[in-house]
């Protein structure tokens, strides 16, 4: 069975009514035949039929044993971190999502969990970064926002040899492009807000485990902590998954065209996109991803926050907003938006400069999106020239 057919038909027809769309079970509790005797559902925090369909579909998509749906991507991350104990260490990718950094650093470090950040694009850094206390290796690939690529299979072997769990945030690639569990990961997480939902109309997170044993632990945490996904939001993610493969394919094609265009723009210093042969780990991306994804980042030759802010405020089709993966194209300025919580020095160490701009490419025609960026570059070029002329005048005076 081909990928698209598999995705569509693993979403079940309702056995009770024959409904082609998964029903939304908007209920908090379930009538029992006798105390402890029920139809598999007793309380909606523990289980919900709509949420269970999503969780089963997510597990199948990622090739895992169990899936779990949470109220946000950060709630999913939080559930994984609750597997750890005081004194444990996390070895994490340095170019990490700002929300994850905030959770790791400001919440879990005060509970005695140490986090060591490294550049995972070089496998020797992972080998050297592992300690006897490392219990979790945390990876994003591609990373947010500089699109670094790390070799999942190689890192999985290092984590396994150290007896550490290996978790991969697969949000940017999506399961139609990359399968971390098949490459050795123990846990996969998603911000389902992004590509899985795909329409910028929900907040959700997913955890998928490789084994039932690990699944039982996450299930206990989900039920005990209570950060579950509501039935309607679960249905929205299911609806999004039905068109996931088509969207990711088209967004990737659009993104490659835009990335190639950006390499020709004189104001641009670096273009970060795994689909460019000039990308540092292009060969690794080509090996482990079916598509290169719909996110591009670039920075300006003049590393200036004001210039970057002017650029992201000057587009028509690219809407200035946080998040990514939707059908409409978005752009943001990570230094003042998604990664504002990360200290400037640490941002720069991972490549997030003051002028870095992140694009989430949607389903519009690529030609229109390129024209939109072209006119924005013309505007900031004019502003830059005005500033330069003013500086010359002041110097002469």
Look up 97 and say whether it is catalytic. yes
Other beta carbons within 10 Å of 205: 26
User: 171: closest CA among 21, 39, 360, 321?
Assistant: 360
CB 55, CB 69: distance < 8 Å? yes
Active-site residue (options: 25, 94, 95, 97): 97
Tell me whether residue 195 is one of the annotated catalytic residues. Answer: no
Query: For residues 117 and 92, is the Cβ–Cβ distance under 8 A?
Result: yes
45 is catalytic: yes
In angstroms, the CA 31 to CA 45 distance is: 15
Measured between alpha carbons, how far is 327 from 81 in angstroms, rounded to an integer?
Answer: 31
Q: 150 and 121 in contact (C-beta within 8 Å)?
A: yes
Neighbours of 223 (CB within 10 A): 14
Cis geometry, peptide bond prior to residue 83 (ω within 30 degrees of 0): no
- DSSP classification of residue 314: S
| Polymer length of the chain | 397
**Structure token pair of residue 326:** 């939707």
Q: Cβ–Cβ contacts within 10 Å for residue 397, how many?
A: 5
Distance in angstroms (rounded) separating the CA atoms of residues 269 and 288 = 27
In contact, 171 and 195? CB cutoff 8 Å: yes
Quick check: is 151 catalytic? no
How far lies 274's CA from each of 45, 56, 107, 209, in Å?
Answer: 40, 30, 32, 27
Cβ contact 362:282 at 8 Å: no
Catalytic residue among 135, 179, 194, 347: 194
Distance CA 69, CA 387 (A): 50
Largest CA distance in the chain: 91
Report how far residue 311's alpha carbon sits from residue 302's, in angstroms, rounded to the nearest whole number: 12
Task: List the catalytic residue out of 94, 95, 151, 169.
Answer: 169
Cβ neighbors of 6 (< 8 A, separation 6 or more) are 60
The DSSP call for residue 28 is S
- Give ∠ CA 236-293-149 in degrees, rounded to 5: 120
Residues carrying an active site annotation = 45, 97, 169, 194
């Amino acid at each position: 069975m081909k990928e698209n057919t598999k995705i569509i038909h693993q979403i079940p027809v309702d056995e009770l009514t024959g409904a082609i769309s998964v029903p939304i079970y908007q209920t908090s509790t379930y009538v029992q035949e006798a105390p402890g005797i029920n139809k598999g559902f007793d309380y909606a925090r523990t289980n919900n039929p709509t949420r269970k369909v999503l969780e089963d579909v997510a597990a199948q998509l990622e090739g895992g044993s169990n899936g779990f749906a949470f109220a946000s991507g950060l709630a999913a991350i939080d559930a994984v971190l609750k597997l750890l104990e005081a004194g444990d260490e996390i070895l994490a990718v340095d170019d990490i999502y700002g929300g994850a950094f905030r959770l790791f650093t400001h919440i879990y470090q005060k509970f005695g969990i140490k986090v060591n950040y490294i550049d995972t694009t070089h496998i020797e850094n992972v080998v050297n970064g592992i300690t006897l206390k490392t219990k979790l290796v945390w990876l994003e690939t591609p990373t947010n926002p500089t699109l670094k690529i790390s070799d999942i299979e190689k890192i999985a072997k290092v984590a396994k040899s150290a007896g550490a769990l290996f978790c991969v945030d697969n949000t940017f690639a999506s399961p139609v492009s990359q399968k971390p569990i098949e490459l050795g990961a123990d846990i996969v997480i998603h911000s389902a807000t992004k590509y899985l939902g795909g329409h910028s109309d929900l907040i959700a997170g997913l955890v998928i485990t490789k084994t039932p044993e690990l699944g039982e632990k996450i299930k206990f945490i989900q039920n005990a902590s209570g950060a579950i996904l509501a039935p309607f939001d679960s249905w929205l993610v299911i609806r999004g998954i039905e068109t996931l493969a088509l969207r990711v394919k088209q967004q990737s094609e659009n993104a490659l065209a835009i990335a190639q265009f950006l390499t020709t723009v004189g104001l641009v210093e670096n273009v970060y996109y795994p689909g460019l042969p000039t990308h540092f780990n292009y060969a690794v991306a080509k090996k482990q991803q079916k598509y290169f994804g719909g996110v591009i980042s670039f920075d300006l030759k003049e590393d200036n926050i004001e210039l970057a802010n002017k650029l992201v405020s000057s587009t028509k089709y690219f809407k200035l907003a946080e998040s990514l993966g939707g059908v409409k194209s978005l752009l943001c300025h990570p230094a003042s938006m998604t990664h504002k919580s990360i200290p400037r020095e640490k941002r720069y160490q991972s490549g997030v400069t003051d002028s870095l701009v992140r694009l989430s490419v949607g389903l519009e025609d690529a030609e229109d999106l390129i024209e939109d960026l072209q006119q924005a570059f013309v505007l900031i070029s004019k502003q830059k020239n005005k500033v330069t002329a003013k500086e010359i005048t002041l110097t002469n005076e």
